[in-house]
Chain A
Amino acid sequence: GQNIDQPTEMTATEGAIVQINCTYQTSGFNGLFWYQQHAGEAPTFLSNNVLDGLEEKGRISSFLSRSKGYSYLLLKELQMKDSASYLCSYMDSNYQLIWGAGTKLIIKP
């Protein structure tokens, strides 16, 4: 199987903050990527990290630690429309994306 792991499901409250963690193990690494996928729809690109640290884009932030094989996606000011699956993936030494199974995020009012 793929050496990438993320929680299966998380629940959060509208207006709050949620952090979705992702861990991976690979000998070749060319970046970490987060995608959003609403039920029955196609995945869409959210954020990427190539170097260690935090990338911020509005309500969305993503963090990477290459030495720890760890990333997280931070979603702030949660809205009901943020209910979706969030897919973590890393680019391997062949420049192909290896995908986690996704974290289903449920937002409650």
Chain B
Amino acid sequence: TAGITQAPTSQILAAGRSMTLRCTQDMRHNAMYWYRQDLGLGLRLIHYSNTAGTTGKGEVPDGYSVSRANTDDFPLTLASAVPSQTSVYFCASSDGSGVAGELFFGEGSRLTVL
């Protein structure tokens, strides 16, 4: 199975432009997450969704929005990108029936905002 698929793998974006990072999972996991990973910092949670139809704010939600219309898809949108949003973005999911805290990650999307 594919697990979690993220797209695009990498992108260069002009400041002020909008961008949507796509995330799709085929494991039927209820919970999904978006993290950003920056050098010297731990993974930081942007937004999360415990189940389809619900979303919540993480540690660093400003400048980002998400939606969870169904179980499989969890897109992350940057409405007006800024250089500080240059980062590697990871989508993840978890299965409530498995080990709590065991997340399954996508391969990441490297975003550069100029």
Q: Which residues of A contact B (CB under 8 A)?
A: 2, 4, 30-31, 33, 35, 41-45, 48, 87, 89, 91, 95-102
B47 to chain A, nearest CB (A): 11
| Size bracket of the B interface | 10 to 19
Known: A2-B42, A42-B90, A91-B100. A96 touches B106 (CB 8 A): no
Known: A96-B48, A96-B58. A91 touches B42 (CB 8 A): no
| B53 touches A (CB below 8 Å) | no
| B68 touches A (CB below 8 Å) | no
Tell whether, in the assembled complex, residue A41 and residue B107 are in contact, meaning their CB atoms are under 8 Å apart.
Answer: yes
Tell whether, in the assembled complex, residue B90 and residue A43 are in contact, meaning their CB atoms are under 8 Å apart.
Answer: yes
Beta-carbon nearest neighbor of B42 in chain A: A99
B40 to chain A, nearest CB (A): 6
| B105 touches A (CB below 8 Å) | yes
| B41 touches A (CB below 8 Å) | yes
B12 to chain A, nearest CB (A): 17
Known: A41-B107, A42-B106, A42-B108. A98 touches B42 (CB 8 A): yes
Which residues of B from 40 to 68 have beta carbons under 8 Å from A? 40-45, 48, 58
Q: In whole angstroms, how far apart are the Cα atoms of A41 and B42 in the complex?
A: 15
